[in-house]
């Protein structure tokens, strides 16, 4: 028979920790017994419970949180910071809780859409920056195409020899 302690049941076969409302062990599937289930659940007879209800600690009390807030956090976070929300969404997809899996799916989809939007925005920002840079260099595009069709000018043919006082002039071809 399984041992009961503080709302938890330890399986007699494998020693796994189970909730006292479970009929079978989560790890090995062994029946935990009928006496550990709450009245009104399953096939167990409903016996009146003479014990007063145990107080729920404040940390375990359900919070009054609107479930749509978590979905909006997943959507907004996925669109604004997709690189961070994608792993968060994937981790939430691994939970057993249905609501957390839905939030994980929402965050993952929003992250993928956010990644796509960030890529498109980056493409147009870079293309705009390149266009602005080309406008800052007037005639840069025209000079590049013109230099390929014409030979470069020979500046040496028009240059005069350098004349310094006290130093004889040496021009090319003179010895």
Supply 107's token pair. 């965050």
**Domain residue spans in the chain?**
1-37, 67-136
Burial class of residue 104, CB neighbours in 10 A (0-12, 13-18, 19+)? buried
Question: Is 26 in contact with 8 (CB distance < 8 Å)?
Answer: no
Query: What pLDDT does 44 receive?
Result: 46
Mean pLDDT, residues 71-89 taken together: 90
Least confident range from 37-41, 66-70, 100-104: namely: 37-41
**For residue 80, what pLDDT is reported?**
92
- Coil, strand, or helix at residue 9? strand
Contacts of 80 (CB under 8 A, 6+ apart): 114
Q: What is the pTM assigned to this prediction?
A: 0.42
User: 8-38, pLDDT tens digit by residue?
Assistant: 888 888 888 888 888 888 888 888 875 544 4
């Amino acid at each position: 028979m399984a041992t009961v302690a503080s709302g938890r049941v330890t399986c007699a076969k494998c020693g796994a920790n189970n909730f006292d409302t479970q009929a079978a062990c989560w790890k090995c599937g062994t029946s935990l017994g009928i006496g550990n289930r709450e009245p009104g659940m399953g096939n167990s007879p409903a016996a009146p419970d003479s014990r007063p209800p145990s107080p729920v600690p404040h940390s375990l009390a359900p919070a009054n949180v609107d479930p749509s807030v978590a979905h909006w956090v997943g959507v907004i976070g996925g669109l604004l910071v997709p690189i961070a929300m994608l792993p968060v969404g994937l981790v939430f997809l691994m939970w057993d809780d249905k609501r957390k899996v839905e939030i994980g799916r929402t965050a993952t989809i929003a992250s993928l859409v956010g990644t796509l939007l960030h890529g498109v925005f980056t493409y147009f920002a870079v293309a705009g920056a390149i266009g602005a840079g080309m406008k800052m260099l007037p005639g840069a595009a025209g000079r590049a195409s013109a230099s390929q069709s014409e030979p470069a000018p020979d500046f040496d043919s028009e240059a005069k020899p350098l004349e310094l006082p006290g130093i004889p002039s040496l021009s090319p071809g003179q010895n």
